[in-house]
Structure 1
Amino acid sequence: MVGRLEGKVAVITGAGSGMGRSTAVLFAREGAHVAALDRNQDAAAATATTIQEAGGQATAIAVDIARSSSVQAARDAVLTTFGRVHVLINNAGIHDGFPALEETSEELWDRVINVDLKGTFLMTQQFAPHLREANGAIVNLSSGAGFRAGGGGVAYTAAKHGIVGITRATAAELGPSVRVNTVYPGPTMTEMTRTLMSEDELAAPVPVPMARFGTPEEVANVVLFLASDDASFVTGGAYAADGGWLG
């Protein structure tokens, strides 16, 4: 059976853990050649090894998406390895840890905005010409915090709102050659979630209609749909994988 991404090259940031790793593994299972990008080279390599051991094709590339020179080097490495790009998944991001406004330092603000928002911009800017050539797709990972308060502090919330704006602007500019969409996960059980929440908070009932945390694999399934030809007339939209949190 031919996979939904058979023969396509997919670039995935933050592929070393969580939703990024689950997306990379799923995409490879669906026939994609995966460029697993992460700031942590060892984590990216572990994802690539998992894919290769399952019979897929993958390469690991270290990148700091907040630095244009690093993004350009990663782009060149992808093109050297695969020659083309069909799909870009802007998944990498960091959280601000829910600080109050008065406790949000300028340094924290800059770090979160640079990674989550500027990083999405730089990756999109550098890969857009190659995605145009391939009639490709971009999927940006926002968050429920991109639509309402309560998912983070002011820096994280602002960054995730900005990703929705980048999605809308680039969908309008890059269409009809490139489709651009956003997925906004809700409470999802990842390494980041475990770091941000106490054991008591993790064990408490989850205040969403589905009454549980989502899994990275469940989010990856939504990303796969938007990246595939199944979503051939879908662009400029924002799609929930949040258990009904925003519903």
Structure 2
Amino acid sequence: MAVEYDFDGAVVLVTGASGALGSAIAEAFDAAGATVCAADIVAPSDDDALVDSSAVEFYETDATDEDSVRDTVSAVVDDHGRLDALCNIAGTWRGGDPIEDTDVSEFDMLFDVNLKSMFLASKHAIPHLRETGGAIVSVSARSSLEGGEGDGPYRASKAGVRLLTETVAEENLGELRANAIMPSVIDTPMNREMMPDADHDSWVDPGDIADVVMFLCSDEATVTSGAAVPVYGEA
């Protein structure tokens, strides 16, 4: 049975909205009646953007730069008078090298894009989300649950997302909710290009993950905060 959500009147900020997962989440919230504010360094008009420009109001944002994030959150609240949900979707993956062969610039990039972006957006959104009793959903990863060969900095950055999510939930108990989702490989054009010989049928569609994100932002999930929710199909 399909579940329908009503976000009419809600204002939702989605970082990384031009990517495959971010665009699916943005368009799902738009279809549910929300005002969707898309934050990304890639504009919807760019050839690499996947988001439907008619579904969002775009705010050019460098999610790793505090001034840029602060300005975006302030602009969203100024433009719409409120903020009801923050979806921290900006992120990336790199892997392949053991620790001793990993360049520090790659380490810094992964922590900036995956963890710092989540920290900055949450930091500046929390005061506004407290006013609406809102919700934050961030993207961790299944692989963050254990160490592994070749992509340690990625796993560590995503483990940090889980721990910061638990911290935000604890610090704002009764005022807002914060949860994380844990995907494995998502069925995106980029992943198919990177792994052409993989079993694509076992990958999870971004639209299915968007449904979970909407649930976590909805009134149906008011008793759920501080959770790390698997979104990788069968364990």
* Contact map agreement 1:14 1:38 (CA 8 A) in 2: yes
Partner in structure 1 of residue 214 of structure 2 = 224
Residue 35 of structure 1 aligns to a residue whose secondary structure is: strand
Q: What is the TM-score normalised by the length of structure 1?
A: 0.87
- Kindly provide the amino acid, as one letter, of the partner of residue 120 in structure 1: M
Task: Indicate how the Cα distance of structure 1 residues 194 and 43 shifts in structure 2: closer, same or farther if over 3 A, else same.
Answer: farther
Q: For 2:205 and 2:70, locate their aligned partners in 1 and report how far apart those are by CA, in whole Å.
A: 32
**Cα pair distance change 1:190/1:69, threshold 3 Å:** same
Alpha-carbon distance between aligned partners in 2 of 1:158 and 1:22, rounded to the nearest angstrom? 26
Match of 2:51 in 1: 47
Deviations 1:64-117 (A, max 9, x none): 111101101111221222121000000110111332222210000001101111
Distance 1:13-1:82 versus aligned 2 partners, 3 A rule? same
Among the aligned pairs, what percent are the same residue? 32
What residue in structure 1 maps to residue 35 of structure 2?
Answer: 33
Alignment root-mean-square deviation, CA: 2.1
Equivalents in 1 of 2:60, 2:150: separation in Å? 27
Counterpart position of 1:241: 231
For residues 188 and 40 of structure 1, what CA distance do their matches in structure 2 show? 20
Residues 1:6 and 2:4 are matched in the alignment: no
The answer to whether the Cα contact below 8 Å between 2:44 and 2:52 also exists between their aligned partners in 1 is: no
Contact 2:27 2:51 (C-alpha < 8 Å) held by counterparts: yes
3-state SS in 2 of match to 1:41: coil
The C-alpha deviation readout for 1:21-53, integer Å capped at 9, x for no partner, is 0000001111110001111123588635241xx
TM-score, normalised on structure 2? 0.91
Aligned 8 A contact 2:23 2:52 in 1: no
Q: Residues 52-63 of structure 1 correspond to what in structure 2 (within 5 A)?
A: 58-63=56-61
> 1:35 is matched by which residue type in structure 2?
C
Look up the match of 2:110.
Answer: 112
Q: Mind listing any 5+ residue stretches in structure 2 that lack a counterpart?
A: none
Preserved contact between residue 142 and residue 184 of structure 2 (Cα < 8 Å): yes
What's 2:161 paired with?
Answer: 163
Tell me how far apart the structure 1 counterparts of residues 113 and 169 of structure 2 sit (CA, whole Å): 21
State the match for 2:72 in structure 1.
Answer: 74
Figure out how many residues of one structure are paired with residues of the other and give that number: 231
Q: What is the CA–CA distance in structure 1 between the aligned matches of 2:73 and 2:86, rounded to whole Å? A: 11
Amino acid at match of 2:221: A
Change (3 A) 1:81 1:186: same
For the pair 1:214 / 2:204, whether they are aligned, the reply is yes
Q: CA deviation at 1:151?
A: 8.9
Separation in 2 of the partners of 1:128 and 1:223?
A: 18
5 Å matches for 1:145-156?
145-150=143-148, 153-156=151-154
Give the Å deviation of 1:237.
Answer: 0.6
1:192 Cα deviation after fit: 3.8
Q: 1:24 aligns with which of 11, 16, 26?
A: 26
| Structure 1 runs (4+) greater than 6 angstroms displaced | none
State the distance in 1 between where 2:120 and 2:194 align. Answer: 27
